[in-house]
């Protein structure tokens, strides 16, 4: 089923859906897909691209989207597509100023400093996210990991591509819960919620 649901229009993102869309959002690492499904439902005019590399996550989202017994015939929601590969490749293939919003919800923290290069919030990726977002577009980022929280503060403090005010500690209105956020609450960790704005 996945090929029918896969986003295949990196060069012209608004054309990648089976209905006209006025805006395009990208979620990086959707995990179980609950946040992607909710945010897409909340924004019916938006073409939503949900990316994930983890097979179990892809299966979990597909089972949410495809009713039992309809594997052969099911079509993706008209304004929703999946990118089942590394989001960084998709970013590279996209034109400048094509996205209206990006989400990075509870990215893998890679807490050991020798793995810091694998963290998604990284100067190289910031350049790419800045390039594909439209000026003034929002990038929502959340993390519950103290090492990552400190890292985001440090990296965003040294860059000038985004306005990066301090994070909220309550989930802001219009955001939706995720599986990793629920895990953080269960295990007593305090999530941080950042809203970055792409500078011109």
Q: Give binding residues as ranges.
A: 27, 52, 86, 108, 112, 144, 178-181
Positions 88 through 127 that interact with ligand SAM (CB under 6 A): 88, 105-108
Among the listed ranges 25-33, 40-48, 69-77, 143-151, the one in contact with ligand SAM (CB under 6 A) is: 25-33
Please give the structure tokens belonging to residue 190: 């305090």
Q: Does 53 bind ligand SAM (CB under 6 A)?
A: yes
- Report the residue number, 98 or 144, with the smaller CB distance to ligand SAM: 144
Strands laid side by side in the 80-83 sheet = 80-83, 46-51, 23-28, 99-105, 133-143, 192-198, 162-163
Query: Which of 91, 178, 196, 198 touches ligand SAM (CB under 6 A)?
Result: 178
**Binding-site residue ranges for substrate:** 112, 144, 178-181
CB 123 within 8 A of CB 161: no
Is residue 160 part of the annotated active site? The answer reads no
- Give the C-alpha separation, 35 to 161, whole Å: 26
- Give the C-alpha separation, 2 to 63, whole Å: 11
Alpha helices for 76-178 (secondary structure H): 87-93, 123-132, 146-157
Please give the structure tokens belonging to residue 189: 């960790």
Q: Does 194 bind ligand SAM (CB under 6 A)?
A: no
Total interface residues for ligand SAM by CB under 6 A = 20
CA dihedral 25, 58, 178, 68 (to 10 degrees): 110
- Report the residue number, 40 or 51, with the smaller CB distance to ligand SAM: 51
Q: Does 144 bind ligand SAM (CB under 6 A)?
A: no
List of residues contacting ligand SAM (CB under 6 A): 28-31, 51-54, 57, 86-88, 105-108, 178-181
Q: Which residues are catalytic?
A: 108
């Amino acid at each position: 089923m996945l090929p029918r649901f896969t986003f295949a229009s990196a060069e012209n993102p608004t054309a990648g859906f089976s209905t006209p869309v006025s805006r395009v959002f990208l979620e990086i690492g959707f995990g179980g897909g609950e946040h992607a499904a909710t945010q897409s439902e909340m924004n019916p005019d938006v073409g939503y691209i949900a990316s994930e590399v983890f097979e179990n996550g892809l299966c979990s989202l597909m089972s949410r989207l495809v009713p039992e017994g309809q594997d052969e015939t099911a079509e993706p929601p008209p304004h929703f597509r999946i990118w089942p590969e590394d989001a960084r490749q998709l970013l590279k293939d996209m034109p400048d100023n094509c996205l209206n919003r990006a989400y990075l919800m509870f990215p893998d923290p890679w807490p050991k400093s020798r793995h810091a290069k694998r963290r998604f919030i990284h100067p190289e990726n910031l350049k790419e996210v800045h390039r594909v977002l439209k000026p003034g577009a929002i990038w929502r980022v959340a993390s519950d990991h103290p090492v990552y929280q400190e890292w985001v503060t440090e990296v965003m403090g040294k860059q000038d591509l985004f306005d990066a005010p301090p994070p909220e500690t309550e989930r802001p209105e219009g955001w939706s819960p995720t599986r990793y956020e629920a895990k953080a609450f269960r295990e007593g960790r305090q999530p941080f919620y950042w809203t970055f704005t792409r500078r011109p």
